[in-house]
Structure 1
């Protein structure tokens, strides 16, 4: 062997030795790191194992910041508790700028839209399908399709299971309910976002191996748009911690005003018209009392695209003139990041919606919820997380009479209100850890 060949071989051996040493050191560093994620990633690469892959079925629509929040919430929980899992999102809709928000916050996220090649690949490669939070088993047919086409397991995360209310098609409703119970029973786990849904599912015979309370994924939504929020606050002279947010809502969302494919519903419209004063009178009185009796302002803001008009008609236009200078009306819709950034700068929130309060509590911001009979049982999650005295039934005169005093108490004793909100947040986060432990176990059992 020539001297040149000897030197070349020596150089190659040195490089191999260096690389081996570097990997060993890297594994050691990862093993003692706080998160351990480096260790797990390197160990996985070293033993040649393919990371587990989850297909998240979520993102139902984008006209409501709460529906938007479900997806980043669940993605955040997965990122925190199962950092080595690869996630592909199977959305119904990510338009109106939502796809860009998700890709920015979750750069490794794969998105497999309906009827795409990416979705076909996800069906082949993903190990587990996770149905995200929603008002029901929103993608029930897709769970059946997944089971029939792949034979792989699925789980359901943070849903309401609503009883069918129509009596006109009882037989059809019973048949549909039976199918839903079967889909629940075929799941590896089902986490219900309110205990009444859990009780209903059990009473109907649903029998998944794990059926428990599991918080709505939106509690973990942490999308932010601080620049937009700061601009909005400055333009409207709203000081951090010196304003409350108020959200109006009609009994039925008038989707026919914002979705061209939704027909006008005269029955729902009539119910909205009949109840809108009843459902907003206490909110309006709370605004008046907050402005006159505290140093807080009030921001009237929307959760969906229909509520700017509702807030203008039912709140702003009916306030006394002396109150109006300290009330701000947001005339345009916003995306979840800006809304969360505003909520976290507020002193608290009250109103007739659900998911803005959820996002508030997820960040330790006090939030009062008003509900009515037309809604599903989701509002009762406030009782499940220890906030039952911040939940009001607008169809109960006793409850309605307690709304204004409770809002004033929240505004006047912010430290106590925040402590209460944080206690609820801690309980939610505990359940998030426990639910992810269940998913981790299921993924570990997948060959």
Structure 2
């Protein structure tokens, strides 16, 4: 992991140098005028899913960092698949960003149009946070794997630098390892959102230009929809810092893809997966019951994924004791990241089986407890890596009493919990600044302090 000393060195890469007036330089008056260099163009691939506010939240988070640290750059945002809800958030909060749509290839059709133009104009191509560069973790679809790597080969052919921002890496099953190593070792930078992923690449001799810990892009998110958020809070009697937000995740199919499914969203959950959900949601119900009876504060059942709206109702809310149910708000509709941010900003604390609502909470200064499923991969370690290891648990190995105890500890010494969040986020922002200096250097700009 990058140390504080490493960060200081990185921040000092561009020391202040005196610039002589042009007329004082030998021979300048005799030289023809030279056009100033064009502003860099950064092409960002992001927005993996409209039905998951974590997949949506990566985008405004990283866009905000680029806007803040590389204001000279023109930002192009590539949406390969339709993302109408994410685009509402982006056009509202980032009017200068141009959204580019389209697939990188389509059978025998020539590569042309706005996407090709975007690549050919790019000074840098960045793939935003996620875990898409794995093989054998969630499946063995070789075509999908190569489709993800093909744009990098195009960049190599055209001399376009590329980098990966806030990624997790878990598995490169045979015969993927040499292919991934060949391509990713030629990246200008790879920032891993958990140090386990960084160590994994390092141990297998991946040698990109820079390989370091770099926070998930969602940590940069600051967008809000105050009108919708405040209306929801008022309607449901949720007062500032007087409710716990709870986010669940189940082994159930996505609403938009019920037939095909995926390992984490099975179309037909097995009996073992169904039992796993029953046990996990029983812990959530016990945690909620303890919280309400011990603190007297309310609970919001909030969806990070659209499919979990219904699951939170049937698996949690409907099975709570009547006296507890009266203190619990079940959100019955899905939402976008900016409305969620406006609600999360008023939460006392957050508990989640999913990580990205919790990342949003941390970005807002809210204490969190994450109970991760190990099947979700290495990404859960990011909470430890920013200094919040005591708030990271394994949902299937941890009893409900331990999860409740940690939330009650936060409640009993809330100022200390808030201080922990602030310390963790100070480290996150330090790393964000360091990563963005590398982005600046990659596109030919000098280092720049935060504005």
TM-score by length of 2: 0.82
Contact 1:112/1:118 (<8 A) preserved: yes
- Cα deviation, 1:326-383, whole Å, max 9, x if unaligned, reads 1100011111010011000111110211100011111211111011221111011011
* Uncovered stretches (5+) of structure 2, i.e. residues with no partner: 1-33, 104-111, 135-146, 447-451
Distance 1:119 1:92 in 2: 9
1:184 shift after superposition = 1.7
- Cα deviation, 1:116-142, whole Å, max 9, x if unaligned, reads 722121122111101111123387324
Contact 1:192/1:215 (<8 A) preserved: yes
- 1:150 equivalent to 2:148? Answer no
Aligned twin of 2:142: none
Contact 1:77/1:432 (<8 A) preserved: yes
- 1:135 equivalent to 2:131? Answer yes
Aligned twin of 1:258: 256
Aligned twin of 2:140: none
Aligned twin of 1:385: 386
Contact 2:253/2:267 (<8 A) preserved: no
Q: 2:70 aligns with which of 66, 71, 82?
A: 82
Aligned twin of 2:12: none
Contact 1:71/1:218 (<8 A) preserved: yes
Distance 2:160 2:63 in 1: 21
Larger Rg: 1
1:181 shift after superposition = 2.2
Contact 1:238/1:297 (<8 A) preserved: yes
Q: 2:57 aligns with which of 48, 64, 69?
A: 69
- 1:95 equivalent to 2:83? Answer yes
1:259 shift after superposition = 2.1
1:244 shift after superposition = 0.8
- Cα deviation, 1:247-268, whole Å, max 9, x if unaligned, reads 1111x4522x432563584664
1:48 shift after superposition = 2.6
What's the secondary structure of 1:323's corresponding residue? helix
Distance 1:379 1:107 in 2: 33
Distance 1:295 1:380 in 2: 32
1:401 shift after superposition = 4.2
1:222 shift after superposition = 1.4
Aligned twin of 2:428: 428
Higher helix share: 1
- Structure 1 pair 240/439, CA: closer, same or farther in 2 (3 Å)? same
Aligned twin of 2:417: 417
- 1:161 equivalent to 2:169? Answer yes
Aligned twin of 1:318: 319
Distance 1:263 1:161 in 2: 22
Aligned twin of 2:191: 191
Distance 1:254 1:162 in 2: 23
Distance 1:297 1:130 in 2: 41
Aligned twin of 2:209: 209
What's the secondary structure of 1:374's corresponding residue? helix
1:269 shift after superposition = 4.0
- Structure 1 pair 55/376, CA: closer, same or farther in 2 (3 Å)? same
Aligned twin of 2:14: none
1:445 shift after superposition = 7.5
Aligned twin of 2:39: 51
- Structure 1 pair 418/445, CA: closer, same or farther in 2 (3 Å)? closer
Contact 2:252/2:267 (<8 A) preserved: no
What's the secondary structure of 2:174's corresponding residue? helix
What's the secondary structure of 1:55's corresponding residue? strand
Distance 2:342 2:293 in 1: 26
Alignment of 1:209-248 (within 5 A): 209-248=209-248
Aligned twin of 2:369: 368
TM-score by length of 1: 0.83
Which protein, 1 or 2, shows the higher relative CO under an 8 Å CA cutoff with sep ≥ 6? 2
What's the secondary structure of 2:163's corresponding residue? strand
1:146 shift after superposition = 2.9
What's the secondary structure of 1:89's corresponding residue? strand
Distance 1:267 1:201 in 2: 34
Alignment of 1:5-20 (within 5 A): none
- 1:109 equivalent to 2:97? Answer yes
Aligned twin of 2:354: 353
Distance 1:271 1:221 in 2: 36
Distance 1:262 1:223 in 2: 33
Contact 2:128/2:217 (<8 A) preserved: yes
- Cα deviation, 1:374-404, whole Å, max 9, x if unaligned, reads 111101101100000100012324x654211
Contact 1:184/1:208 (<8 A) preserved: yes
- Cα deviation, 1:157-186, whole Å, max 9, x if unaligned, reads 00001225xxxxxxxx31123322222211
1:315 shift after superposition = 1.3
1:297 shift after superposition = 0.4
1:98 shift after superposition = 1.8
1:301 shift after superposition = 1.0
What's the secondary structure of 1:97's corresponding residue? helix
